[in-house]
Structure 1
């Protein structure tokens, strides 16, 4: 027993948990930091992780160039452009940033996704009818940042302010519609059995993944048309 206690004491000393006198070191002061770390981990595996799944799923869906959802009777197309940031929770690489016009759709990004990283932040272009919007979307709270709105049609300053607010609300509503569509898929039975395998094939450059994407888009279109009667 004495030998085991001695071994535990030595291990605690080597970890820095106790000092040479056997008393606890000042590392205990970091209990609050440890709790913050746990909270960050919970957030990462909760809301933020779900946001990363959404942005990764949206990247996969957007490569076809087809409208992804309908908003106010117009299809919404999404294009990833410019810089994209990938993050993960384990492995040799836990963060990767890629820049370039079509960098998000590059083989390097897809291979990184296949190794476990997820899209954490991206610059997106939303096309709704004849209007184009751009915004950086962050996965943590799905914040929309640095938005670029369509050209204003109003000439009066007060009217321009109202129009800008209206367009900002339109952009937020389109993001919400895409998130709602993702959550419906994410909560369904097909997520683990069909969607994730198809995404993995796409990440690996397998044509089946692209075929599955096309089939999913066509099926979604049929469902939307049936719902409208």
Structure 2
């Protein structure tokens, strides 16, 4: 198996695990005593098979329960893309991520005040926006770090059992 396939497999396992964790914990996560929420928000792509027998299911809708994507998991498909929503306090971020390379698209940060006060500069708004981008990326990669530590530990076998149970009952 070449490195790109390993990366894709790890990304698919991560997104599946994240979906499992977010549903079982009502979205609530904590990293280094910092609480936030993460939800699968309206679009998930699952794929199974290879080459000409590749099957892809795209499930979307803002109020969707993503039932078709969950059915795909039951059939052995893997999560290859997901739209995620992160929340902390009254702030909200959205982004879509691909499992194969963790590329982000449609990245939306909380809105910042565009009207400048008398003593403010454009630089302050730029720095605030960059802080908000960095915050969301920190949430995402902290969860990935947590996943990798679990994935390569003896506890992974038990976690896989829980994920399989979640897939079956959903």
TM-score (norm 1): 0.64
Partner residue of 2:106 out of 132, 146, 158: 146
Identify if the C-alpha distance between structure 1 residues 86 and 57 changes in structure 2 by more than 3 Å, giving closer, same or farther: same
Alignment partner of 1:113 is 2:73: yes
Say which structure is richer in helix: 1
Mind listing any 5+ residue stretches in structure 2 that lack a counterpart?
Answer: none
1:129 is displaced (CA, Å) by: 2.5
Aligned length: 163
TM-score (norm 2): 0.85
Alignment partner of 1:129 is 2:89: yes
Aligned equivalent of 2:159? 195
Tell me the SS of whatever aligns to 1:135: strand
1:179 is displaced (CA, Å) by: 0.2
Tell me the SS of whatever aligns to 1:81: strand
Larger RCO of the pair (alpha carbons < 8 Å, separation 6+): 2
Mind listing any 5+ residue stretches in structure 1 that lack a counterpart?
Answer: 1-40, 207-229
Say which structure is richer in strand: 2
**Cα displacement string for residues 109-153 of structure 1 (whole angstroms, at most 9, x for unaligned residues):** 222112211111111100123211111111122122221111214
Structure 2: distance between partners of 1:107 and 1:205: 12
Q: Alpha carbon RMSD of aligned pairs, Å? A: 2.2
